[in-house]
Every structure is written in structure tokens, then in C-alpha cells.
A and B are shown apart, each in its own frame.
Chain A
Amino acid sequence: MRILLVEDDEILADGLSRSLRQAGYAVDHLVSGQSADTALGFESFDLLILDLGLPGLSGIEVLKRLRARQSGIPVLILTATDSVEQRVKMLDAGADDFMAKPFALSELEARVRALVRRGMGKASSQIQHGSLTYDQSARTAFHQNETLELSAREVALLEVLLTRVGRLVSKEHIVQHLCEWGHEVSHNAVEVYVHRLRKKA
């Protein structure tokens, strides 16, 4: 699962990136609305975490442009004001959820999980496929009620595959959803991950 974080405060962004990476997400971080708008135009992400008070192009403008491109990517807004007027404006512009600064990290993580899940069209955090069960919030997989020992990469790969059950998944797609910029892996490495996952499952 790949998340785009757009936040101009480097310390907050550092904290959020680290926490999300610990949770197994690939996180890309941008500081300006302009670059976020560009990145959203050509890359596909599973979630956008967007700060409203960005220099240059404002968060709300990025959101409007994103929705104008018919993108259905879930968007979580970070805002300093939590006035009703502002909330209505954000929801109307196409935001899925919002958090008022300062927020509890655990709450943000829960909302991120919920939004990613909703983005995949699932209401529950459990994904069932044959005898395989995957719990998204605990990030654990079971095979016939036995816990599978998986590395973080393997969990992420399983998640990508399970969200596209019954469809062809290209190596390109896997790389895109697994890796941050600058940390892309080769197609061979993808094959190795898939091979390992098959063995364990």
C-alpha cells in the first residue's frame, strides 16, 4: 500500500512517515501543493494524506484538481481549523476524512487503515480468499487458522495481491504500490518476493 503524504512541516512529516512505514506502508513525502498535484497526475497511490496550509497551491486546490481528474483515491485531510464551515468545504471538495491538528498518532493510523480499506471496497478489515485470511489492522495472515510468518515486504505484497483478486497483477503495478520513490526494486526482486510468498502460503 502506497501513501502520498503532502505536509510542509518537516518534523511532522518525518513523524508521520516513520509511523506509517512502521505500519508497513510505502510513504512518499512532498512539501508543496504544486509538486503533489504533479505527482498525483502520473503516479497511482492508495491514499493521499494532505495538509491544507501548503505554500503556493493550497491543499483544497490540490484536492479539487484531483477530483476534477476523476480520481477516486481516498483523501485524508490534515487541518489546523476544525470549524464546521471548513469541514463542509473540505467534504464538498471531495475529502473522505479529516483530522484536526494536533492529533493522536493511533487515531490517524486507524483512519488511514479505514480509508485504505474503503478504497479497496471492503467494509471489514478482514480479507478472506479461499482458505487464506488476512487481517488488515493487525497485518497478519492466516492459512487454515494458522498464522503465517511473513516479512513486512511479504505482507505488503500479499495485500496488493489480495486487493486485486481474480485480476491480472503486473510486476509494474506491484512495484508501484510497494515501493517509495528512490527505493524501487527490480522485477527480478518482485519475482523473488512472489516465490517466497507462494512457498509460505
Chain B
Amino acid sequence: MVAMSPSQRYAGSDIALNGLPRRTEQSQSLARRAASSDTGGHSNPKRAGLFAVLRAPEPEQRTIFGEILDWMFAPLLLLWPLSVVLTFSMARSIADQPFDRALEEKSLLIAQRVRAQEYMPGGFPPIIPLSSQASGTQGGTTYRYQIRLPDGGYIAGDPDVPSHDPDFLPDPEAVSIRYARYHGEEVRVSAVHLLALNTEQQSLIVQIAETTESREALANEIIRGLIFPQFIVLPLAIVLVWFGLTQALKPLGRLQQRIQDRRPDDLSTLQVRGTPEELAPLLSSFNDLLDRMGQLMRLQRRFIADAAHQMKTPLAGIRTQAELALRSNDPDEIRQSLSQLIRSSERAAHVLNQLLSLARTESFDQAQYRMVPIAFAQQLREWAQDWADQALAAGHDFGLEVDPEVEGLKVWIHPVMVSEMLNNLVDNALRYCSKPGIVTVRLRSSDAKLLLEVEDNGPGIPEAEQALVFERFYRVLGHQASGSGLGLAIVREIAKQHRLELSLQSPITANGKAGGCRFLVWFPLSHSA
């Protein structure tokens, strides 16, 4: 029942195998598997039960089998000695009963005789009747008699019989029986209190001491009868429990085998039918996990397929246009192909950049870069310079509106990440605005937060698609815009990491016309500033 710690085990095996430490782990796991298949794994040296826990404080691998055995047998082994002690005392009291009854009768008989002597002439002080019943040894038991006054004064008989307690006289005419010591030996002593019936008489205490050999013989016999079967039943019970546990834990082994036999890409759910009820919750959690893993894998696969499409399509365009240019003799055709080539390579580069940016964002380590308090309005003006240039190059109108009351207010952000997020929002607005485009970035305060709005006058986003536009590679239909489909996914990821509220309104009413869309980002204010 005491488990050896695995580290000890490994160390020993390592020495034996002389520098082949990998083998030991392997062979141990093989051994464990073999053990678990035929005996339920109880021979597993890694099993640490109750006693091992007391011994080894470091966390160890445990088996249910060992746990059950420990928790069953440890209390059992503690209770067993207790039951033996109880058995002994019970056997004693059982054996005492018939002997005590005989002693009581004997005492009453002797007491009657002593009383009868008193009526005879010269009957005082009374003496012990010398009948065969009243003295000596009978069947291995020795009796001693004695008569005393209630105050302890000696009258007759064996003076060595221990005196009764003068302060606690036995009830008159009743027999009281107690254990006492006589010549260093344990004896059973009975006492009868004879009350004086008239003034001529004296009250007397008649005692008989009886040795306990016969009682002990009987008690021992009873104990033998009770204890011996326990020595047979207990080991038998251990064997049966062991066997039962092995049988009961077999479904676990079968389940383990089922999981082990699976192909690595098999994410189908495990059958709950045919397994014990206790395993059902475990199985259903496991199935839940499989489900989520499957979902994640499907998402991942779709992402890879989408990314491949987004990357390879511009490449296909480049190749097609290049081949066309090579074939053609018409300078105009060649020129057209070349300009398409440039656009296509720009698009491929854009997709690649966005993919890298998304990867960077997703693996962004918050701990590595500290957030800093930034005077947001001021920072926004700096960024807006670039956006204005971009808008100008694309022939769109760009406006920045900062509410004077947010001037100087600070927010805690990673400036690089937030700039990436806003670049994407503005880039998105510039790509999807109508021509001539009007893109407005607005900063004001709202509910003790800074509210940043990015607004365009494009066709807007239908309500059904508003939740989807933040998905990776989702693009709103009917646009010739050359987005990568990742911009808003990056925005969402950064907002999530900064715990910023992000929302979308479309259509909006701007300059009395409905349409376009507005992205809103709320930045919590920094109070330390």
C-alpha cells in the first residue's frame, strides 16, 4: 500500500540502464499499460495513496484504484484493533454472567447459614460453616470466606480477603459483586449485608472471594470463537474487494483504450452509452472540449484557405497580366498590363502587411509594452496629418473635429497599437467612401469617456452584415474596393486587448443625407492625470 515516489524509481532505473534515461520512461509507461490492462493498474508504482501522501508532500500521480483501497483499508485497519478490544471486554462480561449468578447464590446460602448460627447458643461471633460448599476449591476455582462488621472490624474467616468499603455498604440482604486483588491475584468478591433484626444481633458483612481461572477460561474460549473467523474473513474481504475494484474499474481502462486508439485528427465525440454513469459528466466535458477544438480547427482551416486565396489571387493577376504584356505588341495594351501589375503587387503587399499586422496584434504581449498616459487630442492631430495626406492622394475630403473640452485629457494606451487601430479605421473609411469621399474623425467626451468617431459617406453596411464585418476576411459585397478583409479584424483585436468599447452605426445621417457608416471607439479617461 505504500507507493514509491516516481523520481526514486526513475533514478534507480537510470543507474541500471547506464545512461539510457529515455528508455526508462518508456518501459515504465509500457509496464503501466500492461498492468492497467490486467489488474486495473494497482501495481503502478506511481500510485500514491493515503500513506504515500503522508510521506511525500510533492504532488504525485494517483490512481482511483489506490485511492479507494487506501480509503477503505486504512479506516478498516484502524477499526480492527478497536473491535478486538471490544470483543475482549464483551467476552469477559459474557463469561462473568453465569459465574456471577452462581457466586450470588452461594453468597446468599452462606449468609443464611451464618444468620442461622446466631440463634444457636454461643452463636456469636459466628463462624464460617465448614460445609463442602463453603470453603476450599471446586473445579479449579478457589473460594475464601470472611465475616466482618459493617465498620470493617474482623469477625471470622480468611482475614486476607480485601475488606469492603465501610463508607459504601452494600444494600441490606442484596449481593454486591466486585473485582478485587487477593495475594496479588485478581479475584471476584461478593458481599452480603446482614442487618441486625433485634438488639441481640449484630449487623454483619459476609464476603466470598472467588479466583477467576474458570471465568478466564470461558472468556478465552468466547474470544477464540469471535476473533478467529476475523482472521479468515478479513484477508478474504481484502481479496474480494481487490477483485471487485479491478472489475469495477475496467470500464476506465476500456475508455482509455478507446481514446488511445483514436487517430490524432479524429475529433468526433465519444459515445457516452456503455460507460458507467459516473464517467458520463467527464465524457461530456471531454466531448465539449473536442467540440471546441474542432470549431477552432475549422476556423483555423478557413482562415488558412482565406489567407491563401487573398494572397494567391493578386499573384495570379500579376502572372496573367505579365503574360498578356509579353504576348502583346500594342504599347497601350502593354502599358495597361504594366499598370495592373503594379496595382496587383501593391494589393499583394497590402494583404501580406495586414496578415502580419494581425499576427502581431494577436500575439501582442501586453506585459512587454507598458501602457502610457497620452494627451489624446494632441496625439490624434499628429496621426491625422498622415490620414489627411492619404485622403488627399485618393482625392477625398478629410476632416478632424476635436471638441475643445477634451483638450489635454489623457488616456492610458499603447500608442503604437492604438495608432494601428485608428489607421485601419481611417483606411477602411477611405476605401469604402463614395466618390468624392468625405471622411471625418471626431473626438468628444461622452459618459466620462473619450469618444472617437470615424465616419464615411460610403454606401454603408446593411444591418445583417454589421456583426460580420469584424470577422477576418469578411468583405461587404458589391464593392470594388481593394481591401484585404483584415482591417476591421485588426481593429477588433486591438480594441479587445485594450478593453475598449467598439461599435458601428450605419446608416447615419450626415448633411441631411442618410447613408455611410460610423465606427465608434470609447477610451476610458486616465484619472491619475
Binding site for B on A (CB under 8 A): 9-12, 14-16, 18-19, 31-32, 34, 51-53, 55-56, 78-81, 86, 100-106
Choose among A16, A34, A79 the residue that contacts B320 (Cβ–Cβ < 8 A): A16
Asked whether A15 lies within 8 Å of B477 as measured between CB atoms, the reply is no
* Further contacts, 19 of them, CB under 8 A, given A81-B304, A104-B323: A9-B313, A9-B316, A10-B480, A10-B482, A11-B314, A11-B318, A12-B313, A12-B314, A12-B344, A14-B317, A14-B321, A15-B321, A15-B337, A19-B323, A53-B306, A53-B313, A100-B312, A101-B312, A105-B320
22 A–B contacts, CB within 8 A, in A order: A9-B316, A11-B318, A11-B321, A11-B343, A11-B347, A12-B314, A12-B320, A14-B340, A15-B321, A18-B324, A19-B324, A34-B477, A53-B305, A55-B474, A56-B477, A78-B316, A80-B305, A86-B305, A101-B315, A102-B316, A102-B319, A104-B323
Asked whether A32 lies within 8 Å of B314 as measured between CB atoms, the reply is no
Chain A residues near B311: list those with CB within 8 A: 80
> How close is A45's CB to chain B, nearest CB, in angstroms?
21
Asked whether B324 lies within 8 Å of A103 as measured between CB atoms, the reply is no
Counting chain A CB atoms within 10 Å of each CB, the highest count among B305, B312, B316 belongs to B316
Asked whether B324 lies within 8 Å of A32 as measured between CB atoms, the reply is no
Choose among A9, A55, A79, A101 the residue that contacts B477 (Cβ–Cβ < 8 A): A55
> How close is A144's CB to chain B, nearest CB, in angstroms?
32
Chain B residues near A105: list those with CB within 8 A: 319-320, 323-324
B224 interface hit (Cβ, 8 Å): no
Chain B residues near A101: list those with CB within 8 A: 309, 312-313, 315-316
Asked whether A55 lies within 8 Å of B475 as measured between CB atoms, the reply is yes
Chain B's interface size range is 20 to 34
Chain B residues near A55: list those with CB within 8 A: 474-477
Closest to B333 in A: A18
A100 to B309: give the CA distance in the assembly, Å: 10
A15 to B480: give the CA distance in the assembly, Å: 16
Closest to B304 in A: A81
Choose among A15, A32, A106 the residue that contacts B340 (Cβ–Cβ < 8 A): A15
Chain A residues near B319: list those with CB within 8 A: 102-105
B478 interface hit (Cβ, 8 Å): yes
Asked whether A102 lies within 8 Å of B312 as measured between CB atoms, the reply is yes
B77 interface hit (Cβ, 8 Å): no
A137 to B363: give the CA distance in the assembly, Å: 53
Dominant SS among interface residues on chain A: mixed
Closest to A85 in B: B301
Given A11-B321, A15-B337, A102-B477 contact (CB < 8 Å) = no
Chain B residues near A16: list those with CB within 8 A: 320
Choose among B305, B317, B475, B478 the residue that contacts A12 (Cβ–Cβ < 8 A): B317
Choose among A18, A32, A80, A104 the residue that contacts B313 (Cβ–Cβ < 8 A): A80
B308 interface hit (Cβ, 8 Å): yes
A80 to B478: give the CA distance in the assembly, Å: 21
Chain A residues near B310: list those with CB within 8 A: 53, 80
> How close is A141's CB to chain B, nearest CB, in angstroms?
23
A102 to B310: give the CA distance in the assembly, Å: 12
Chain B residues near A15: list those with CB within 8 A: 317, 320-321, 323-324, 337, 340
> How close is A152's CB to chain B, nearest CB, in angstroms?
15
Chain B residues near A81: list those with CB within 8 A: 304-305, 308-309
